[in-house]
Structure 1
Amino acid sequence: MANSTSFDRAASRTGCGQRRPRAWIGVVTFAAELPTVELAIKGHRLVAEVAANDSTRMTGLMNRFSLRPDHGMLFVFREAQPQAFWMKNTYVPLSIAFIGSDGTILNIEDMAPLTETTHPSQGPARYALEMKKGWFDQQGIKSGDSVAGLEKAPKATE
């Protein structure tokens, strides 16, 4: 059993104690896990975290340093309308597919990390799907392809 001295040392290393090493300054913590949905495009399956309210859509994939293979984030909006995304505080290079209400991909854009360049949809988008940069191209997915499984995603709440 650990004694109080070793517990205090462990607590200070994990940020639980009062002393915090310099390396912990600026560490970002994430909210509770987001719901996920399984989607398929041209037979390629993926798992997407779902951002369905203003808070989760604003945060998106900011301050993350990696994505698992075949994992991404699905942004769900209450209604289809022109959308635009940027990469402020986003460290992972991403590709984004803007998707209409009927599940058809409107356009796909590659986005460089840590930039404030806006990437707009080419029409009213009800969904946006972010994946690692190049994922759509590697799977042969392009504008006009359909995304299956969107109906299983949580509905937008805000």
Structure 2
Amino acid sequence: MVMRWCATTFATLALVACNASAPSDAIAQRPAAGAEALSPAGLPLVPLTINSAGKRHAFTVEVARTAQEQAQGLMFRTELAPDAGMIFPFPTVKPASFWMKNTVISLDIIFVRADGSIESIAANTVPYSLDAVSSNEPVAAVLELAAGRAAELGIKPGDTVKWQTER
């Protein structure tokens, strides 16, 4: 009886482990008709554009809405597609400060004012660093992209960011 219980428990655990979805998966879950698209981490996916020097750069970003989602951010991710990212919208405009604790990949951290303009960019942040990466003034959101994307696309302070908000 104990042997049968152990075998059943082991088989169940093996199935659960094989079906677990790692947060670094790059493929989004396909939503049901009328439902919101979700990332493998369970966060909403929305289109986001950055207008810079007459060019429009399109991304699909995860939205970290809650304090818990924002605290987790892109920690433990091992990759981030060039057209992907994460937006951290705040309920009120405030000074923002981030760190890279448990963040495996380097990021460009873009601070966004309430009018959608880019306040500043912390480029190529250092993985695992406990140093604060902060805005210079109160902001309405923070956008994280793969390191080097802002420079590669010519994105700079003053450019504008737009993303789909709550439905």
Sort the TM-score into its range (normalised by shorter chain). 0.7 to 0.9
Deviation digits for residues 24-61 of structure 1 (CA, Å, limit 9, x no counterpart): xxx99658510111111120100110011111011101
Q: Secondary structure at the match of 1:48?
A: strand
For CA contacts below 8 A with separation 6 or more, give which structure has more relative contact order.
1
| One-letter code aligned to 2:113 | G
Any stretches of 5+ residues in structure 2 without a counterpart? 24-39
Query: Which of the numbers 114, 136, 142 marks the counterpart of 1:122?
Result: 136
Contact 2:85–2:144 (CA<8 Å) still a contact in 1?
yes
Measured in 2, the distance between the counterparts of 1:12 and 1:76 equals 37
1:100 to 113, 137, 142: 113
The alpha carbon displacement at 1:68 in A equals 1.9
Matched, 1:45 2:93: no
2: CA distance, partners of 1:123 / 1:12: 49
Q: Give the root-mean-square deviation of aligned CA atoms.
A: 2.7
Q: Number of paired residues? A: 139
The amino acid of 1:148's aligned partner reads K
Provide the residue aligned with 1:153 in structure 2: 165
Do 1:80 and 1:126's aligned partners in 2 also have CA atoms closer than 8 Å? yes
8 Å CA contact 1:50–1:154 kept in 2: the answer is no
TM-score, normalization: structure 2? Answer: 0.74
Alpha carbons of structure 1 residues 41 and 89: separation in structure 2 relative to 1, 3 Å: same
- Which residue identity does 2:165 align to in structure 1? A
- Cα deviation 1:96-118 (Å, max 9, x = unaligned): 10000000000000211011010
Post-superposition shift, 1:14?
4.9
Cα pair distance change 1:14/1:92, threshold 3 Å: farther
Name the counterpart of 1:59.
72
Q: TM-score, normalised by structure 1?
A: 0.78
SS of match in other structure, 1:46: strand
The Cα of 1:140 is off from its aligned counterpart by 0.4
Amino acid of the structure 2 residue aligned with 1:104: S
Structure 1 residue runs of 5 or longer lacking an equivalent are 17-26
1:1-158 to 2 correspondences below 5 Å: 11=12, 13-14=14-15, 32-42=41-51, 43-110=56-123, 111-149=125-163, 152-154=164-166
Tell me the amino acid that sits aligned with residue 150 of structure 2.
Answer: F
